[in-house]
Amino acid sequence: MYEFVSGPLVWIAFIIFIGGSLYRIYYMLSNSKKETVVFPHMSLEHSLASLVHWVIPFNNQYMRKRPIFTIVSFAFHICLVFTPIFLLAHVILLDESWNISWWSLPEGVADWMTIIVIAGCIFFLYRRLTDPVVKNVTDGSDYLLLAITALPFITGFIAYHQLFAYKTILIVHILAGEIMLIAIPFTRLSHMLFFVFTRAYFGSEQGHVKHSKDW
């Protein structure tokens, strides 16, 4: 089982992730060209301004009005992206498999970043259960996506600390990571692919068309 999930299934997951992501981006761009209000209104200046203002914490009114959410959201997304990329164990696997390696995080730092992701998932779950506005637009798929996001980090934390049957937890961890990769292009997790395009569009619409700011 371990040989399958750590071998052929990894390739399958990456092929679906990369292929699905490229298809979704191509589909979005090709459909946008058919619209009469998207590309004609796009502005590089306003797109970049919007992106800069939305990637800096507390640099817009929405974030300043929600300080706790802003702190948790930024910490969560930073750790979500950079922990698996720069985790020592993952870098070693890449080096052994494809002779590719780069700088890795100290294990203690990666451990705390993993905890931040797990804590962030708990925070977002609590928010969906208690905030009336968010709860009103939440359905079962949102809880499933939270579980898909949290499980690779929970199982990775357990495997690293060898709290239970290591081999079994490791297999579950690899499977969870592969499920998350496959899910990204085809679920709302795809916002990580479209964030730049979304911000560019809204920034251009507000600045180039309405002559106002989206921050």
Over the stretch 122-172, which tens digit does the pLDDT of each residue have? 999 999 999 999 999 999 999 999 999 999 999 999 999 998 899 999 999
Specify the pTM.
0.88
For 134-192, the DSSP string reads HHHT--HHHHHHHHHHHHHHHHHHHHHHT-S-HHHHHHHHHHHHHHHHHHGGGSGGGHH
Expressed in angstroms, the distance from the first to the final Cα of the chain is 50
Q: What is the pLDDT of residues 111-124, one digit of tens each?
A: 999 999 999 999 99
Q: Show the tokens assigned to 109.
A: 């730092």
* 2-209: in CATH 1.20.950.20: yes
**pLDDT over 80 (residue 214):** no
